[in-house]
Amino acid sequence: MGARQFVFPQAGDDLASIADRVLPDTEGASQQLLSWNLHLAARAGQGRGGLLPSDIVFTEPPQA
């Protein structure tokens, strides 16, 4: 079992800009990333959205 691919946010990044960069031709890419990053969804659901430079953003789904 290998590690999932991930990125750290760059200055000024939000989930949409990361989605545009890592999943450029994917419809609904931001929502797809959010579904793979429940830790970010939980933060957004608590009214504390936004990304920190130390956040890990997984760019592929969990492995089975």
Taking only the tens place, the pLDDT of each residue in 10-64 is: 998 988 999 999 999 999 999 999 999 998 888 776 656 678 899 999 999 998 7
Q: Is residue 63 part of a domain?
A: no
What is the reported pTM?
A: 0.84
pLDDT score for 45: 65
Q: Which long-range contacts (CB under 8 A, 24 or more apart) does 28-33 make?
A: 33/57, 33/58, 33/59
Q: What domain range is 41 assigned to?
A: 6-58
In a domain, 22, yes or no: yes
> Residue 24 class from Cβ within 10 Å (0-12 exposed, 13-18 middle, 19+ buried)?
exposed
14 lies in a domain?
Answer: yes
